[in-house]
Structure 1
């Protein structure tokens, strides 16, 4: 049985990805900081027939994140697919406020790097050696499309962090050529579940499955934002 670990697993996209991979015979490890919400997702997926386990951890607490991934491997076996998609909670936004391009400071960037990039490095580096040793594996890292494919100046400090993550994953995709391990970045320009068909979690989950099985593209951009998004300045709704 293969295993997918979903870091940042929430009630929309994380749940849908878990359900899609479970339908293909994967066991599912769910990792996020909110124990109650995480268990609710696990309970919802328990009827899929797959083994589904919840491992609470905060991506900004790197030792706890690595411990959660190690516990998932111990319970479910080697992680064959890692999906990393952190999303800020209200407390994060109070600690690390979103600022526009002309208000960026060193401190505002460091806070976002902690939220987005460093947890991704820790998660990938935990699973990557085993994938390389086995000669197979998939790493899918998700962020908002302001990480590169789209310009979003009103959330500039976030995009510095997610842009770094995107750049690393695109380079990782190239570096892994010929190893049997595949890495790709998913850039979401959508309010998940609030727009057209492309914004629906189930549609997105199908796209993640195609990335994993086709193993060719370095990046997938999911676009479903209103035309006046930038004019509205909807920073608080731009979820990755």
Structure 2
């Protein structure tokens, strides 16, 4: 049975992706910081007939992330799809800052969160995928990694760094005919099931977005997808 590892698993998009792949016969490795949350998510998936296990890690703690993905590989036998989408953070060192106030000090945590976390996750699973000659890696950021969103100046810098690295690596993997496909998804909508009627920001539900990840895995048609209304 193939396995998808979802780094940054949560009750919204992460669970929708888990359900989408789980219904197609995948086991699910859920990676997040909170053990109680992971146990609940895994139990909910198991109740739906989807094999799932949680593994705790903080994406800014690189050894813990590597250890979690190593444990997931040992538990399930392989990781065939990696999806990296660390949960949104809006407080502390990861709080968004307008582009006019960005400094090396408030951009660095975003680099750790997006770029270094994403690189660490990929490095944990890529060698086995290369040995197998197959695998899919999908990294997720906000659409600010593709186009200007000045109010999230520091966040978009981190996301753009991950996007650049991922697209470069994806190009190399394809040109070398490795059998591994790497794609970037930029979310340009508010992801919610219940957007208020007067909300002026376009929205999509997690269940609408998750099948796009399945399409990226199965068709391998593109290296980048911007999700917009």
TM range (shorter): over 0.9
Q: How far, CA to CA, are the matches of 2:28 and 2:164 in structure 1?
A: 27
Counterpart in the other structure of 2:189: 190
Provide runs of 4+ in structure 1 moved above 3 Å: 194-198
Counterpart in the other structure of 1:216: 221
Is the 1:198–1:222 contact (alpha carbons within 8 Å) kept by the matching residues of 2? no
Structure 2: which 5+ runs fail to align? 196-200
After superposition, what is the alpha-carbon deviation per residue over 1:107-131, rounded to whole angstroms, capped at 9, x for unaligned? 0111111122111000001101110
Query: What secondary structure does 1:176 align onto?
Result: helix
Is the 2:9–2:87 contact (alpha carbons within 8 Å) kept by the matching residues of 1? no
Is the 1:59–1:65 contact (alpha carbons within 8 Å) kept by the matching residues of 2? yes
Is the 2:94–2:109 contact (alpha carbons within 8 Å) kept by the matching residues of 1? yes
Q: 1:198 to 1:214 in 2, by over 3 A?
A: farther
Counterpart in the other structure of 1:199: 204
Q: 1:204 to 1:51 in 2, by over 3 A?
A: same
Is the 1:60–1:115 contact (alpha carbons within 8 Å) kept by the matching residues of 2? yes
Query: What secondary structure does 2:119 align onto?
Result: helix
1:24 aligns with 2:24: yes
Residue 153 of structure 1, aligned match among 135, 150, 153: 150
Shift of residue 198, structure 1, vs aligned partner: 6.4
Q: How far, CA to CA, are the matches of 2:140 and 2:25 in structure 1?
A: 23
Shift of residue 97, structure 1, vs aligned partner: 2.8
Is the 2:19–2:50 contact (alpha carbons within 8 Å) kept by the matching residues of 1? no
Query: What secondary structure does 1:167 align onto?
Result: helix
Shift of residue 214, structure 1, vs aligned partner: 0.2
Q: How far, CA to CA, are the matches of 1:47 and 1:9 in structure 2?
A: 17
Is the 1:198–1:204 contact (alpha carbons within 8 Å) kept by the matching residues of 2? no
Q: How far, CA to CA, are the matches of 2:170 and 2:219 in structure 1?
A: 14
After superposition, what is the alpha-carbon deviation per residue over 1:148-193, rounded to whole angstroms, capped at 9, x for unaligned? 1x21001011111110100111112211112110000000011111
Shift of residue 87, structure 1, vs aligned partner: 1.8
Q: How many aligned residue pairs are there?
A: 221
Q: How far, CA to CA, are the matches of 1:21 and 1:198 in structure 2?
A: 22
Counterpart in the other structure of 2:71: 71
After superposition, what is the alpha-carbon deviation per residue over 1:172-229, rounded to whole angstroms, capped at 9, x for unaligned? 22111121100000000111114599611111111100010000201111114xxxxx
Structure 1: which 5+ runs fail to align? 225-240
1:137 aligns with 2:139: no
What's the TM-score once normalised by structure 2's chain length?
0.92
Q: How does 1:37-48 map to 2 (within 5 A)?
A: 37-48=37-48
